[in-house]
Structure 1
Amino acid sequence: MTYLILKVIHILSGAVLFGTGAGIAFFMLRAHATKDPRTVASVGRIVVLADFVFTASAVVVQPISGLALIHLQGYALTEPWLMAAYALYVLIGVCWLPVVWFQWRMVQLAERAAEEGASLPPAYHRLFRAWFILGWPAFAGVIGIYALMVAKPVF
């Protein structure tokens, strides 16, 4: 019973991680496409909140539930497919941490532009490009971890 509960928790937190990431990307892209600082600021505030509430929670739950499942299933922590998953998890984190800061900073820049009745400034667009670029390896990393968890390949 413990195994099944942990597995459900692990799968659900993985779904939250993937789903929130995909949702955040969608909403930020749509807000950005409007070029309207008020829209970017409003949507951006929600996105930042969602990242802290949902993504950050899943980021904590994933390794805890994953390590418990590894133990219960009798796998060695150094199984090659697990080592690959750990590497992808680190890659995702290296991409995600700056993205969270970029989002927060883009909101600030959009709020200032909205208050001044100005367009989104060049600094916003630089951050958006970096946010967009870093999103791809993070997204691919999550898919890679899913593939490893399902297939448990032998290297």
Structure 2
Amino acid sequence: MTYEILLYSHIIGACVLLGTGAGIAFFFVISNHWGNTEMIAHVSRIVVLADTVFTATAAAIQPITGYFLAREVGWPLTEPWLMASIGLYIVVGAFWLPVVWIQIRLRDIANKAALANSNLPETYHRLYRVWLVFGFPAFLSVLLIVWLMLTKPSFE
């Protein structure tokens, strides 16, 4: 692959991770803020779908394009900014993977409550709070990774 294709693919992947992450979180938070069980059920189905189609795909491709891009340019993976990026990517995964499971559970609970025409149970609200808290370190880590990619600091 050429440098330009790798760079383009890697940047698009970063944009998708950042953009869909922010968009998914925004719409899910807003639907939960309004508190309408049917709306929450509907939005949660879209959230799970969007995370599967966009975020998971970008998350899988990002380290691959990053590795080949570093190899193409000649950056050793021991470069401090690359090591920091890789470490932060692991942090993102450590928070995002449970979030995926939580989103699926939230979707299922909300759908069940919507079908029964009932309020969301406390289990839903407890899981939602965990989802919300886990989102912050994951999102901030992605922001830091993008900063590292752009600035490539030496940490010296």
- Structure 2 length as normaliser, TM-score? 0.97
Aligned partner of 1:96 in structure 2 is 96
Q: Which blocks of at least 5 consecutive residues in structure 2 are unaligned?
A: none
Residue 109 of structure 1 deviates from its aligned partner by: 0.8
SS at match of 2:83: helix
Q: What is the 5 A alignment of 1:59-78? A: 59-78=59-78
Q: What is the 5 A alignment of 1:6-155? A: 6-155=6-155
- Structure 1 length as normaliser, TM-score? 0.97
Structure 2 counterpart of 1:112, one-letter code = K
Tell me the C-alpha RMSD between the 2 structures. 0.9
- Which whole-Å CA distance do the structure 1 matches of 2:89 and 2:56 have between them? 13
SS at match of 1:78: coil
Residue 60 of structure 1 deviates from its aligned partner by: 1.0
Q: How many residue pairs are counted as aligned between the two chains?
A: 155
Percent sequence identity over aligned pairs: 51
Residue 59 of structure 1 deviates from its aligned partner by: 0.5
Q: Deviation per CA, 1:36-94: give whole Å up to 9, x if none.
A: 11111111001100000000100111111100110011111111111100110000000
- Which whole-Å CA distance do the structure 1 matches of 2:98 and 2:66 have between them? 24
SS at match of 2:78: coil
- Which whole-Å CA distance do the structure 1 matches of 2:22 and 2:50 have between them? 12
- Which whole-Å CA distance do the structure 1 matches of 2:60 and 2:109 have between them? 29
- Which whole-Å CA distance do the structure 1 matches of 2:49 and 2:62 have between them? 20
SS at match of 1:130: helix
Residue 151 of structure 1 deviates from its aligned partner by: 0.8
Structure 1 counterpart of 2:64, one-letter code = I
- Which whole-Å CA distance do the structure 1 matches of 2:2 and 2:69 have between them? 9
